[in-house]
Amino acid sequence: MSERETKIARMRELGAQLLAASKAYYQEDREIMSNLEYDKLYDELVGLEQETGMVLSGSPTVTVGYEAVDELPKERHETPMLSLDKTKDVGTLADFAGEHEVLLSWKLDGLTVVLTYENGALFKAVTRGNGEVGEVITNNARVFRNVPLKIPHKGTTVLRGEAVIRYSDFERINREIDDEAARYKNPRNLCSGSVRQLNNEITAQRCVYFYAFALVRADGVDFENSRERQFLWMKEQGFDVVEYKKVTGSQVPDAVRAFSEAIAQNDFPSDGLVSVYEDIAYGQSLGRTAKFPRDSYAFKWQDEQRETKLVEIEWSPSRTGLINPVAVFEPVELEGTTVSRASVHNVSILKALRLGIGDEITVYKANMIIPQIAENLTGSGNAPIPERCPVCGGPTRIEDTGGVESLYCTNPDCQAKKIKAFTLFVSRDAMNIDGLSEMTLEKLIGKGFIHEYADLFHLDRHRDEIVEMEGFGEKSYENLIGSAEKARRTTLARVIYSLGIPNIGLANAKLLCREYQDDLDRLRGATAEELSEIPGIGGVIGAAVVEYFRDAEHNRWLDDLLDELSLYREETDESAQTLAGKVFVITGSLMHFPNRNALKDLIESKGGKVTGSVTSKTSFLINNDVHSASSKNKKAKELGVEIISEQDFLDRYTQNEEEKIS
């Protein structure tokens, strides 16, 4: 590792340490390092940024504020972004290189983005779009996890790369979505939606990474006709560059083999490789066809396929009632592992494949990772769609949502629904009852000990049976009972979250309880229209809440549960609610707060609200650049909303009570 690379690595390390310390101090009321140590590390980071001339994404020395826009503007690319000619044949790829040196690199499976830097600062980010015109996503690119906000080179710099979401982050995001039907199908789709969000706070939460794969322009820099020098230069500027190997045609087969063997360990999605001539002038001299440039060639993985026989369709119910079809087939070896199952996702795909028990099918691993059915060679179409739930025996129905048919269990007492629902109910952010894993809950429900939420607080009625259960004993039983007793004292927000209302996480539950001052009757009686007007809730969530409380059984369960609980309100100093009724929008960088969330927390602690867009209901727009021509400033002026600086806010906030934000 060069000295410069060592400094960049240290900058990343310092940034992570300082951000962790800041989060602990400002958001969690705890200290993980002293002020002296923080200042020392901060000064070291500032010094390294000055030495290297770069500022990495997320650096504590800068604040990249979250900002919502009404739409993503379109912009024409400086040079067209053509597709690449493709092959699945290694020999063809080797012939393309011939005696010339080529750079062989990953073809990442995400969304292509073009970044432009002016005077060393990130100036613009645009998606590939149709190759001619893309969408401007500059605000979102600023919160990518690894995009430099400032680079040493002061001339105009334009480069292309792929925005991706790693498999580990994709799986984490899906785990946080309780409704299986709402989970994302693959990292590529999730990335595409994340990069093109109107509110970049959502983009930031999705953990998008950027990997540069081509330099379009770098004013004043001589790369000596070498594509590799361009890659190395981009790396020196602070960019993560796609992994590559420099090879000639005769070395291509071994290089492809090495890349393919690395896929199983990769945390990023890839659907092939890209080959580009190392000699820039030679590549450019070849020109282009009507569709493709001739200096590059794409290689798509030749999916290893195996024929096998479909043994059964397994139907797997979830707590939402959705019953997912899973194809079970005779085991085959694919990409070095044995596979015997593949998700079919929904009834529409099942019908499209015309699946039937005993059919000869071909299977493969999408991107060499995820087992899929490629083709049905028999097409008998005789796979039965169950009219009864495989778990509870209750009736099923097919629902059509946006042209996609899915199977649902209609029995509200379905055991599978209960297991998943109770798993959420006892989880840490909900009622926090330790000792109740999904497997344990399955046993307790199967034995008839649990029928509704309130029963969890009367497990003492079944003491003897529980103590004798496999994996239990006297100690485990006592711990479980103690945890349940401790869980009786809780907040209404935790209760609302624990009910499993679609799209209601703990944050939304808190928001609802704050809006209705912990008055459950008012919340139960709210209309969808009223709920949709609450900032951060909207129509979809509002309708879900109304639908939930419209069900008599849901209300009975909740009433029985409340009889077991002692609810308390989180302490709020009513005399300090000086911002009650005021709605704020925060934009631009801050100087007195580590981030916008810190200022937002202060406003909300005083009874105010913070939203993402300026509307007629906005009381104040906080922007340190009061006179800027930003879209939010323009909107505020149009609506007569007062624009105040961060210092204005603090001055009013810290003066006498009657003078505060009046």
Predicted confidence (pLDDT) per residue in 252-265, tens digit: 999 999 998 888 78
CA distance 379 to 352: 10
Q: Contact, 584 vs 619, CB < 8 A? A: yes
The predicted structure's pLDDT at residue 84 = 87
Q: What is the mean pLDDT of residues 590-598?
A: 75
Predicted confidence (pLDDT) per residue in 120-159, tens digit: 999 999 999 878 888 999 999 999 999 999 999 999 999 9
The predicted structure's pLDDT at residue 29 = 41
- Name 84's Cβ contacts closer than 8 Å, sequence gap at least 6: 274, 292, 293, 296, 297, 298
Q: Which of 86-90, 234-238, 290-294 has the highest mean pLDDT?
A: 234-238
Predicted confidence (pLDDT) per residue in 411-447, tens digit: 877 877 778 789 889 988 899 998 888 778 877 876 7
With 0-12 / 13-18 / 19 or more C-beta atoms within 10 angstroms meaning exposed / middle / buried, residue 270 is buried
CA distance 189 to 614: 30
The predicted structure's pLDDT at residue 656 = 44
Confidence category of residue 66, pLDDT binned at 50, 70, 90: low
Nearest in space to 313 (alpha carbons), one of 353, 366, 259: 353
Q: What is the SS3 string spanning 550-617?
A: CCHHHHHHHHHHHCCCEECCCCCCHHHCCCCCCEEEECCCCCCCCCHHHHHHHHHHCCCEEECCCCCC
Q: What is the mean pLDDT of residues 332-358?
A: 88
Q: Contact, 156 vs 95, CB < 8 A? A: no
In sequence order, the β-bridge partners of residue 406 are: 399
Q: What is the mean pLDDT of residues 462-470?
A: 87
CA distance 652 to 646: 10
- Lowest-pLDDT range, 410-414, 461-465, 628-632? 628-632
Confidence category of residue 492, pLDDT binned at 50, 70, 90: very high
Confidence category of residue 351, pLDDT binned at 50, 70, 90: very high
Whether the per-residue pLDDT at 23 is higher than 70: the answer is: no
Q: What is the mean pLDDT of residues 11-16?
A: 88
Tokens of 173: 């995001």
The residue to which tokens 């809950």 are assigned = 441
Mean pLDDT over each residue of the chain, to the nearest integer = 86
Whether the per-residue pLDDT at 178 is higher than 70: the answer is: no
The predicted structure's pLDDT at residue 199 = 82
Confidence category of residue 224, pLDDT binned at 50, 70, 90: very high
The predicted structure's pLDDT at residue 657 = 39
107 assigned to active site? yes
CA distance 287 to 91: 23
7, 74, 88, 107: the catalytic one is 107
pTM of the model: 0.52
Q: What is the mean pLDDT of residues 361-373?
A: 80
- Eight-state DSSP code of residue 288: B
Q: What is the mean pLDDT of residues 388-399?
A: 89
Predicted confidence (pLDDT) per residue in 500-531, tens digit: 898 787 777 888 998 898 999 999 999 998 98
Q: What is the mean pLDDT of residues 200-226?
A: 93
The predicted structure's pLDDT at residue 30 = 53
